[in-house]
Structure 1
Amino acid sequence: MARVLVTRPEPGASVTAKRLRALGHEAIVLPLSEIRALDPVLPDPSAIDAVAATSASAFRHLKPECAATFRQKACFTVGARTAQAAGQAGFADVRSSDADASALAAMLVATLPAKSRILYLCGCVRRPEFEAGVEAGGMLCLPVEIYDTTFSPPEATVTESMSAGPPDIVLVYSARTAEVLRDMMSHPDFASSLRNARFLCLSEAVARGLGTLVEGRTYWSDEPDEEALFALLSRP
């Protein structure tokens, strides 16, 4: 079995590590980011036609009393993990795209009437594709930042994590994390510890964040969820 470096933030990192160990792998937990909840001002529910989110973190960090005011709205998500988080937050009508944020925007445009008003539960750090797609489809996108993400661990944490030996596989969950890894690999010691590792990414967009440093060793899942990502673990 493999030594697998998990770069996603907590609490997801520990959940992923537990899954890996159950499969017989050795998990190295090295979160390259930290998520903190914000205290946003949400619009009146009567001004919203539907809710959307592209990350499960939006629902994990949404206060229950805030979620309660929107639970009767249709909720559109990307991937099974985000859909599950929406259901756990109390949303009953959850519709999920198994592709990416652009595909989710296309689903909304195809499903809802023109000029619908979409409450987009999101993070401060995000890509523009969803908002652009919704607005290009003639709808109003109202982004509300539910959480913020800071990146890069202390150097001591990196050294400690690698002390038992280099990983065989690196799991990468976001484009920004991929960019952090790319920057970290500009340091010879860190690059050396990853010289033989395979990089398994949640999507092609995430893989692009690594640049050309790991060409020939980068793979991405067909669907942006952890089930599809784990399916790559057995890939030679």
Structure 2
Amino acid sequence: MVRVLVTRPEPGASRTALRLEAQGFQAIVLPLTKTVALPVEASVFPAAVAVAVTSANAVRHAPKALIATLAALPCHAVGKRTADACRAAGFRSVSEGPGDAEALAGAISNELAGKEMVYLCGRVRFPVFEERLAAAGVRFHAVETYDTVRLAYPDEEIVARLSNKPVDAVLLYSAKAAEALSPLNRRPSLRGLFENAEFLALSARVAKALDGVGGQEVRIASHPDEGAMLALLSLPR
């Protein structure tokens, strides 16, 4: 059975593990990052006509008081999972985007050109969404509700989680996770666990953050979503 290491934060890691197991893979969960809430004031944005959200974590970590001030505005979510999180948080009118931040910016730019909106986001994020909005003349307030931080594990815990057996593939969802994996791959006591693994990256930016994997194979998803990355698992190695 193909052993796949899942490095994304919880609760997403466990969801991915179930998805992998349903497809016949053996999933090993080892989150290399976690999301933490940032202090945010429940500011009022009287001129805002809409809200945009490109990560479900942005609403999960947002203070309820902030959501309450924004809940009546049209909410543009990047994709289905984020849209579901926005509805659960209390937004009354949520539209589901194409699943990609740049595509979402393109979809809402004409409607919001010359207007003001609120962007709920993380401290670590791709700049392309904001760049596309700015180029279209959309004024936005970026409200950072969470941060992504690296997790550290002693070698013994990693060996135990992997049952001291090599993994065949590693799923990497963020540049921070890729940066955290690279030193693990170089540790003498762990090298045998990763030396034959292929690394599957959500985007070129994530792949670029990998350092020290030598001649090992790195594959990049055709689209920056989990489905495209998991599809790489069924391709010939």
TM-score (normalizing by structure 1)? 0.86
Shift of 1:230: 2.5
| Distance across 2 between alignment mates of 1:13 and 1:139 | 34
Deviations 1:71-109, CA, capped at 9 Å, x for gaps: 22222233332233223323323231333x333333332
Shift of 1:146: 0.9
In 1, are the aligned partners of 2:113 and 2:137 still within 8 Å (CA)?
no
| Distance across 1 between alignment mates of 2:48 and 2:164 | 51
- Aligned pair count reads 234
In 2, are the aligned partners of 1:171 and 1:200 still within 8 Å (CA)?
yes
Distance verdict in 2 for CA 1:157–1:216, change over 3 Å:
closer
Shift of 1:47: 2.8
Q: What residue is the counterpart of 1:39 in the other structure?
A: 39
In 2, are the aligned partners of 1:54 and 1:82 still within 8 Å (CA)?
yes
Q: What residue is the counterpart of 1:93 in the other structure?
A: 94
Q: What residue is the counterpart of 1:159 in the other structure?
A: 159
In 2, are the aligned partners of 1:105 and 1:130 still within 8 Å (CA)?
yes
Deviations 1:166-191, CA, capped at 9 Å, x for gaps: 11111111122122222433334434
Q: What residue is the counterpart of 1:137 in the other structure?
A: 136
| Distance across 1 between alignment mates of 2:38 and 2:20 | 31
Indicate the RMSD between aligned Cα atoms, in angstroms: 2.4
Q: What residue is the counterpart of 1:66 in the other structure?
A: 66
Deviations 1:179-220, CA, capped at 9 Å, x for gaps: 222243333443432121122222233222225736662223
Q: What residue is the counterpart of 2:53 in the other structure?
A: 53
The one-letter amino acid paired with 1:96 is G
The one-letter amino acid paired with 2:142 is P
Distance verdict in 2 for CA 1:205–1:111, change over 3 Å:
farther
The one-letter amino acid paired with 1:132 is E
Q: What residue is the counterpart of 1:122 in the other structure?
A: 121
Distance verdict in 2 for CA 1:130–1:214, change over 3 Å:
farther
Distance verdict in 2 for CA 1:75–1:167, change over 3 Å:
same
| Distance across 2 between alignment mates of 1:193 and 1:53 | 37
TM-score (normalizing by structure 2)? 0.86
| Distance across 2 between alignment mates of 1:102 and 1:83 | 16
Distance verdict in 2 for CA 1:40–1:205, change over 3 Å:
same
| Distance across 1 between alignment mates of 2:206 and 2:20 | 21
Q: Percent identical across equivalent pairs? A: 43
In 1, are the aligned partners of 2:50 and 2:117 still within 8 Å (CA)?
yes
Q: What residue is the counterpart of 1:220 in the other structure?
A: 220
The one-letter amino acid paired with 1:135 is A
Q: What residue is the counterpart of 1:77 in the other structure?
A: 77
In 2, are the aligned partners of 1:3 and 1:27 still within 8 Å (CA)?
yes
| Distance across 2 between alignment mates of 1:195 and 1:229 | 20
Deviations 1:41-65, CA, capped at 9 Å, x for gaps: 1331423222112211112222344
Higher mean Cα deviation, 218-227 or 2-11? Answer: 218-227
| Distance across 1 between alignment mates of 2:27 and 2:88 | 27
Higher mean Cα deviation, 166-175 or 66-75? Answer: 66-75
SS in 2 for 1:166: coil
| Distance across 2 between alignment mates of 1:126 and 1:50 | 20
Q: Which runs of no fewer than 5 residues in structure 1 stay unpaired?
A: none
